[in-house]
Amino acid sequence: MAAIAPVPAQSRLLMSGNEAVARAVWEAGVKVAAAYPGTPATEMLEVISTYPDLYAEWSVNEKVSLEVAVGAAYAGSRSFCCMKHVGMNVASDALMTLTLTGVAGGLVIAVADDVGLSSSQNEQDSRYWGRFAHLPVLEPADSQEAYEMTKLGYELSERFQVPVILRLTTRICHVKALVTVGERQEHVGAGFKKEPARWVMTPSGAARRLPLMFEREAALKAEAEVSPLNVIEAGSDRRLGFITSGPAYMHVKEAFPEAPVLKLGFSSPAPIDKCRELAALCDEVVVVEEVEPLLETELKAQGIALRGKDILPRIGELAPPVLKAAIAKLRGEPVPAVTAVAPMQVFPRPPTMCVACPHLGVYYTLSQVRNITIAGDIGCYTLGAGHPWNALDTCISMGASMGVALGLDKGRGESDKDKRILAVIGDSTFLHMGMQGLLDIVYNQGNVTVLLLDNRAVGMTGGQNNPGNGLDIHGNEAPRVDFVKLVQALGVKPERVHKVNPYELPVLFKAIREEVKVAEPSVIITDQPCVLTEAYHKLKPFTVMDDKCTGCGNCVEVGCPAIHVTRREKAIKPNGREVDLNFVRIETAACTGCGLCVQPCAPDAIVHAETVVPINILKKH
């Protein structure tokens, strides 16, 4: 991204929550920022990297990114780390000890929860990390608050010498609003001061820090009770009050503008007395939180009578129609009808890979291989589970394909004893958490073939750079990982490592067919860039010669979105079996000339578009 031009102090800018956080990080004088891409958090570091006067990096995973930020905070500098909710699972090993050491310079950890599962494999609630790690949690309700709470987070962090969690959701991350911004205030770090009793967490050292952690938590509880981020809005209709936080506050205010509301911006530790104060104002109280009944459980344990997930769903966003329906049922009133314009009926559009994606050939080939079980991973190639390939059998988390594949091998039942086991993983995911899994396969002599799909980008989150493509976050040259040497260094025999062009289907098919027969670890590396990056170069587009197309449909099975079925017919084969014929055309404007569809075309009906004589010329002659 290009560098951002200086913005005058007190300017108002239209910003998403991610952009607002990035701006606040820069203004707060942060020196080091690190992250691993993950929707809905990705844009924070992308934008931060465009600001001057700080260091930003894409780390190989979230744990490393947090540790980089921790090191900077130990040195007395302000630092920042961001990730999506499942990324905190990866970083938690460092987090759970960091809560004992604390920090010297300010450290804000932004965690973006994907409420509604727009791009994630689960819907976990990151507020639990505040309770689990005894850390303060701030929850903005819009872009302006995301900006302000990020800056306040550094003040809290340095005042209490503790990391601060900024809990965002997809709605906050991506919805834009006007934000009043300021200018950068330089912050000079004091430098690292040796203090082994604090920074070296041996069991004896950690035991001495535990009481200090609980003392700090008590001080944070007192701070939450008086924090201006926790505000009671009295309201005029005292029949029902609400305790809420984050974007759920906006939903409550839209649905019940006259109701008393306790808006929690500093939500952990929970301000119990403040909640009692709100409860005293109302006949009945409802806790509205996305997504788990975390605060509800805490307040009930304190003897505060309230309602929560007994009337509200535990999944998805709590939008005004959801709230209104729940409260109507609570009051015994008719559930309000939702008046909305009926959506236009369109054909289903399931997610699919891009035109000419190098993964298309991989999954087309896998769909043709029989007697295999395929352990998948997190990335664009997860889409291989869908139509028309149906060539993925498991998918759990980043890097899990390796361990799952080994487990499938070692845990074979009688029906699986002759099955071939494959693991599919992308280049960035392999560097993130897959290397250890491959080492485990080699060490434990697993009978697994690994397909390492190197498209030279973190494809699914927007094509960010990683150590596999030789470019840093700014697009500057950086050392590039040699995957062949890397997997050999992890113990895979040189003769069991193959690098292939995924657009050459016969070569790819042969490599897979031969390697799955070998009862030892093997790796097949596909090496073509993501089509959405600058590294990809288009070739001459193809078209279909209608008079030659027999409707065999082989090209359709490749799964390229540029291929459209224009006509379907039934036919009877000489053996009497009925078959479906799919006559197609290629969207030439979208075609990049990868040639995947040409190779399985039985009648050779697919040719370069420029070789076809235009119909109007034929008519003239």
Asked if the structure places residue 201 within a domain, the reply is yes
Dist CA 251 CA 323 (whole Å): 8
pLDDT in tens, 61-74: 999 999 999 999 99
Contact between 63 and 36 (Cβ < 8 Å): no
What's CA 336's distance to the chain center, in Å? Answer: 36
Dist CA 49 CA 57 (whole Å): 8
Number of other residues whose CB lies within 10 A of the CB of residue 124? 18
Place of tokens 């799955």: 516
Asked if the structure places residue 239 within a domain, the reply is yes
Q: Are 146 and 20 found together in one domain?
A: yes
Contacts of 295 (CB under 8 A, 6+ apart): 127, 243, 245, 264, 267, 270, 287, 289
The reported pLDDT for the residue numbered 344 is 67
pLDDT in tens, 217-274: 999 999 999 999 999 999 889 999 999 999 999 999 999 999 999 999 999 999 999 9
Label the pairing between strands 606-608 and 449-454.
unpaired
Asked if the structure places residue 348 within a domain, the reply is no
φ, ψ of residue 580 in degrees (nearest 5): -95, 135
CB contact burial 598-613 (16+ within 10 A = b; e otherwise): bbbbeeebbbbbeeee
Contacts of 8 (CB under 8 A, 6+ apart): none
Asked if the structure places residue 535 within a domain, the reply is no
Q: Using alpha carbons, select from 506, 539, 523, 498 the residue that is nearest to residue 405.
A: 523
Q: Are 517 and 548 found together in one domain?
A: no
DSSP-assigned letters across all residues of 488-534? HHTT--GGGEEEE-TT-HHHHHHHHHHHTTSSS-EEEEEE---TTST
This prediction has a pTM of 0.90
What's CA 611's distance to the chain center, in Å? Answer: 43
Contact between 476 and 49 (Cβ < 8 Å): no
Asked if the structure places residue 341 within a domain, the reply is no
Tell me whether the omega of the peptide bond preceding residue 269 falls within 30 degrees of 0, making it cis. Answer: yes
Please say which residue of 527, 557, 581 terminates a domain. 527
Q: Are 416 and 371 found together in one domain?
A: yes
Q: Are 70 and 172 found together in one domain?
A: yes
Please say which residue of 167, 195, 226 terminates a domain. 226
Q: Are 297 and 368 found together in one domain?
A: no
The reported pLDDT for the residue numbered 462 is 87
DSSP structural state of residue 464: B
DSSP structural state of residue 582: E
First to last CA, the chain: 53
CATH number of the domain that residue 577 is part of: 3.30.70
Side chain identity at 404, as an amino acid letter? Answer: V
3-state helix, strand, coil in the chain (%, to 5): 35, 20, 45
CB contact burial 71-87 (16+ within 10 A = b; e otherwise): ebbbbbbbbbbbbbbbb
Dist CA 535 CA 179 (whole Å): 36
Contact between 423 and 492 (Cβ < 8 Å): no
Give the Cα-Cα-Cα angle 269, 214, 150 (nearest 5 degrees): 45
DSSP structural state of residue 342: P
Contact between 429 and 377 (Cβ < 8 Å): yes
CATH number of the domain that residue 121 is part of: 3.40.50.970
Asked if the structure places residue 349 within a domain, the reply is no
The reported pLDDT for the residue numbered 8 is 57
Please say which residue of 211, 226, 241 terminates a domain. 226
DSSP-assigned letters across all residues of 196-223? HHHHS--HHHHHHHHHHHHHHHHHHHHH
Block means of pLDDT (10 residues each) for the chain, 621 residues, are 53 96 98 96 96 96 97 97 96 96 97 90 93 97 98 98 97 96 92 94 93 96 97 93 96 96 97 96 95 96 95 93 92 75 66 92 94 94 92 93 96 89 96 96 97 93 90 93 97 97 96 95 96 91 93 92 92 82 92 94 90 43 32
Q: Are 16 and 126 found together in one domain?
A: yes
Contact between 79 and 107 (Cβ < 8 Å): yes
CATH number of the domain that residue 265 is part of: 3.40.50.920
The reported pLDDT for the residue numbered 331 is 87
Asked if the structure places residue 275 within a domain, the reply is yes
Dist CA 488 CA 211 (whole Å): 48
Asked if the structure places residue 115 within a domain, the reply is yes
Q: Are 601 and 476 found together in one domain?
A: no
Dist CA 520 CA 445 (whole Å): 6
Q: Are 399 and 433 found together in one domain?
A: yes
Dist CA 334 CA 331 (whole Å): 9
Contacts of 492 (CB under 8 A, 6+ apart): 438, 442, 521, 522, 523
Please state the domain count of the chain.
4
Q: Are 255 and 216 found together in one domain?
A: no
Residue ranges in 431-504 assigned as alpha helix (H): 435-443, 483-489
Q: Are 271 and 252 found together in one domain?
A: yes
Q: Are 454 and 599 found together in one domain?
A: no
Map 34-103 to HEC letters.
Answer: EECCCCCCHHHHHHHCCCCCCEEEECCCHHHHHHHHHHHHHCCCCEEEEEEHHHHHHHHHHHHHHHHHCC
Domain carrying residue 305: 230-331
Dist CA 352 CA 141 (whole Å): 33
Q: Are 84 and 165 found together in one domain?
A: yes
